[in-house]
Amino acid sequence: GESVGLHLPTLSVQEGDNSIINCAYSNSASDYFIWYKQESGKGPQFIIDIRSNMDKRQGQRVTVLLNKTVKHLSLQIAATQPGDSAVYFCAENIQAGTALIFGKGTTLSVSS
């Protein structure tokens, strides 16, 4: 079964707000985590990743936070835009060359 899950299946925000998407994982051996964005009819698009030796990593408008104590991962999107509307998946990986384990996904809807 899936070892990575998401707390909320949907998230609706207003344009300009900050969005926070959460994810819980269960395998303490996972050492690499990725957030993907998937638009309808397309393959997953890499957003940001983080290794287990870090607790925070920032990209352009996005920040990933990792709390290993409670096995929690979150994706923060600053100044959310309508183009950010998509399904967001977290994924965990134990070792290079092995499968990514995906969570169920959170649908982010951004209204103008």
Partner 1 sequence: GAVVSQHPSWVICKSGTSVKIECRSLDFQATTMFWYRQFPKQSLMLMATSNEGSKATYEQGVEKDKFLINHASLTLSTLTVTSAHPEDSSFYICRASGPLQETQYFGPGTRLLVL
Residues of the shown chain interacting with partner 1 in the complex, contacts defined by CB under 8 A: 2, 32, 36, 41-46, 49, 89, 93, 95-100, 102-105
Exposure class string for 78-103: b at 16+ Cβ within 10 A, else e: eebeeebbbbbbbbbbeeeeeebbbb
Quick one: 18 or 26, whose CB is closer to partner 1? Answer: 26
To the nearest whole angstrom, how small is the minimum distance from the Cβ of residue 47 to partner 1? 12
Q: Which phi and psi angles does 84 have, rounded to 5°?
A: -85, -10
To the nearest whole angstrom, how small is the minimum distance from the Cβ of residue 16 to partner 1? 27
Quick one: 45 or 111, whose CB is closer to partner 1? Answer: 45
Q: Which phi and psi angles does 71 have, rounded to 5°?
A: 55, 60
Quick one: 42 or 69, whose CB is closer to partner 1? Answer: 42
Quick one: 37 or 80, whose CB is closer to partner 1? Answer: 37
To the nearest whole angstrom, how small is the minimum distance from the Cβ of residue 100 to partner 1? 7
| CB of 9 closer than 8 Å to CB of 108 | no
Q: Find the helix or strand (DSSP H, E) in which 16 lies.
A: none
